[in-house]
Amino acid sequence: MALHFYSGIHTVPLGQDYSNLTVVRGLDSVDIGILRALERDCRVSYQELGRELGMTANAAKKRMNRLVESGAIHNFAVYLDYAMANAVSYIALVHIKGKDREQGVLTRVVDDSHVYSAGSLSDGGCIIFAQYDRSMGPGAFEDFLSSVDGVHEVEIHRELTSEGQIVEFSPLQVRVLRCLLEDARMPATEIAGMTGLTPRRVRRILGQLQQGGGLRFVARVNLNVDPGVTYYAQIHWDSEKADHVSIIRWLDKEFSGIYYDSHVSASAPMMLSVFVIDHLREAENLSRQIYQNPAVESVQTLFPFPAKKKPRLQRRRLEQLLSSYS
């Protein structure tokens, strides 16, 4: 079995983590804008959302409610930041030996406590997202995958993530956070009713939690509700000609309305970029267009099927932290 491991020594801030995301067509650019905003902060107000997207607060609310009702937004969640959780994220592209072993490999992989998302790819392989405690080192994920029967070749990348900061939560903040575990977008009035605090005080505490660091308020999405195609472009580029920031900016500008976001390797010049397309045949033309960028060295097309998912380490450690308070 061949193992190719790309481990980053440190991480650099890069927007948000979209490993929970499966994107399909049926969404327009406004829907995509709403989802991107909610990935940055799912507690963003309708007024702020409207200003960002050039619409009224009421129109933004209707759009978001439609995404919730359709199942495109599964729920709203709160996680610890990477620094608070002492966590590191990895991506693995796995090639499987034999068509009949695919489900067995996925079952074995998803049972592992570190794996929070695993799904098949159209080429017979699979894509896996995992989180480990920083103290375990990069070899732990490699050792696990090498032990799985049927795994033939693996390409592992440590994912570039925004670390955040380590903070302490006050007793009142803990009371509010326990409510947010149920629904990270829960209204202040509802939290007040559950905690016995006044709505005004709850709003003040929510502001502290959002601005104080240590947490991520995100929308968890499941967009397999409309016909369409999820397309990952695995892009390798020349690091002497461009960095990941300039590549992402170019994708965002050049493919506005169909580009969503990217998972970026922490050390190798590689990213998995998520696109929203109507038909499979569009992927070939899209890949050719991406390849025209002078800095891009190669583009590989990946079509993922719906993944099996579990709570990530950042979520589990937040639950453990809150349960430790009396």
pLDDT tens figures, 58-111: 999 999 999 998 888 989 999 999 999 999 999 999 999 877 788 899 999 999
Decide if 271 is inside a domain.
yes
Cα angle 24, 271, 3 (rounded to 5 degrees) comes to: 110
Q: Given the structure tokens 């390849």, which residue do they identify?
A: 291
Decide if 322 is inside a domain.
yes
Predicted pLDDT at 170: 96
pTM above 0.85, yes or no: yes
Cα angle 252, 16, 199 (rounded to 5 degrees) comes to: 120
Decide if 255 is inside a domain.
yes
* Cβ atoms of residues 121 and 22 within 8 Å: no
CATH number at residue 80: 3.30.70.3460
In this predicted model, what pLDDT tens digit does every residue of 115-162 receive, in sequence order? Answer: 999 999 988 899 999 999 999 977 999 999 999 999 989 999 999 999
* Cβ atoms of residues 1 and 152 within 8 Å: yes
Decide if 191 is inside a domain.
no
Total of domains in the chain: 1
Predicted pLDDT at 246: 97
Average pLDDT, the chain: 88
The boundaries of the domain holding residue 129 are 1-27+72-167+213-326
Decide if 61 is inside a domain.
no
Decide if 206 is inside a domain.
no
Decide if 54 is inside a domain.
no
Decide if 48 is inside a domain.
no
Predicted pLDDT at 82: 96
